[in-house]
Structure formats: C-alpha cells, structure tokens
Amino acid sequence: MPRDVGVTEDHPRFLRNLISQVRFRGMLIPMASALLDTPVAIRPRATDVRSAAAVLEGAPAEDVVAWAVDRFGEGLVLASSFQDCVLLDVALGVAPALQVVFLDTQYHFPETLEYMDRVRRRYDMDLRIVRPRVGPDERWRFDLDGCCAVRKVEPLDRALSGRSAWMSGLRRADSEGRADTAVVGIDERRDLVKVNPLAGWTDADVERYMVEHDLPVHPLASRGFASIGCWPCTRAVTPGENARAGRWEGTEKTECGLHV
C-alpha cells in the first residue's frame, strides 16, 4: 500500500495541516484543509476536485477518508460490494458512524451474503441494504446492460439521493479501464464527488493489509474468484488472467455501470 506520508517541509503547508490532524486512527480530528471552497450541498468545481486529487495522491487511505468525512459529513456514504472488507476496515476505523450501502441484486452468491453478515457483525456498522424494484427474472440471459441498470445502477442512484459524495473501493490495478482512477473525482452522471481511497493500491497492498489486520476473507477467494459479482455473470479466473476476466465472459462488457 502507499507508504505512510510523514509531515515534512516538502509538503505544501495546507497538506501538512491535513496530515498532522488525521494521524490518529479511529479519531476524527477537525482539519484545517480547505481543498474545496464551496459548500457541501453545492457541486464543487472540477478544478477544485482536481486540486484535492493532486494533494491527496499518495496519501494514506486513512487520510483520504478523514478528509472526505471532514468535508462532506453526513453527505458521504460508502458503497461496498463485500468482495473484501479492506476499505470498510480503513473507513470505519476513521469514521465508525459512516453509512455503508450494499446493493442486493437478488443474484449474489450465497457466500457473498454470508460474508456480508460476518463483516457486519464484526464492525457493528450502519449498513443499508438496497434492493431493486423488480423481482428475480432471467433478463441477464439476453440483456446484460438492462439487468445491471435495474439491479445495480438504479438502486445506487436511490441510495445516493440527497448525498454530496460517495466512496468506493476502485483501484487502478483492477483493470486497464480503471487505470486512471483518481483518488478524488467527480461522478458526472450523478453530479457528486467520488472518493477512491484505495486508488493507488496494488493487489499485493490489499493482501498485505488483510494479513496485517487479520481481516476475514471472502469464501470464494480461495476458489479462484478474483472479482466477485452476481453468480450468473461471474466465474473463477485462471492463473495469469486479469482479475476481472471472469466477469460477463464471452461479451465485450467490462463494467456494470456503477462507475461509468
């Protein structure tokens, strides 16, 4: 994972302020940073967000979370797929009251639901489970984009209604299509700020963090499932394959629509 950022004279003064005031894990201390100078309820200018992204690039994930919580407060929500719980551990260590959203598509593997329940008990989190407005069907057989739209995209839109920003576990190492993921960016479609504290983490960073913090592992991980979504559209990958090669096999689809 990115190395811990020490406070040195090489950092801009307002970044030194930010880093020095979020050093204590589990304690959110007011920060002096003013990276975004517009009110939380107003969409920040793209230039402000780019400035925040540049300053926070390479900072510890805890510092990115602390900045987002300080900046957006209750306007911030974390969306988790419960493929693992690394971001949850980082974020809830900084802000235990942060709301977590899980999209129950009705097609998750039973192992994912079991893992979610295990993780929920571990952190006693404020978990909101959002379900689609349609019942189970076989749309995934002939309309993948439409299936994702009603089971993922629309439910997330509802979950983010009235919010100012959301946090995800996107990483540049996930796939070529995510190689330019910013630590802080703008979700143009929803007109929200999007925060990706783990953007610069490698697979090795994730594995190391999980071991060092004794985190529970998704049951399917040991069976070759490197990227875990809905069971009709997810398979295990073979050694050497990209982690997301097991999603929507045989199609050109690479994203469900939540992050585009």
Domain ranges of the chain: 13-218
pLDDT above 70: percentage of residues in the chain: 78
Q: What's the pLDDT score for residue 30? A: 38
How close are the terminal C-alpha atoms of the chain, in Å?
25
Enter the pTM of the model: 0.80
Residue 247 carries which DSSP code?
A: B
CATH number for 13-218 (one of 2.130.10.10, 3.40.710.10, 3.40.50.620, 3.30.70.790): it is: 3.40.50.620
Q: What's the pLDDT score for residue 61? A: 96
Q: What's the pLDDT score for residue 123? A: 95
Residues of the chain whose pLDDT is less than 50?
2-42
Q: What's the pLDDT score for residue 258? A: 61
Q: What's the pLDDT score for residue 249? A: 75
Contact between 128 and 102 (Cβ < 8 Å): yes
Q: Concatenated DSSP letters for 90-119?
A: HHHHH-TT-EEEEE--S-B-HHHHHHHHHH
Q: What's the pLDDT score for residue 238? A: 82
| CA proximity to 100, closest of 112, 113, 89, 114 | 89
Q: Which residue is catalytic, options 147, 230, 233, 256?
A: 256
pLDDT above 90: percentage of residues in the chain: 59
Q: What's the pLDDT score for residue 98? A: 97
Q: What's the pLDDT score for residue 164? A: 93
Q: Rg of the Cα trace of the chain?
A: 18
Q: What's the pLDDT score for residue 244? A: 73
Query: Edge-to-edge, what's the strand order for the sheet holding 99-103?
Result: 126-130, 99-103, 76-79, 165-167, 192-195, 184-187
Q: What's the pLDDT score for residue 5? A: 37
Catalytic annotation present for 233: no
| CA 191 to each of CA 46, 166, 228: distance values in angstroms, whole numbers, following the listed order | 11, 11, 27
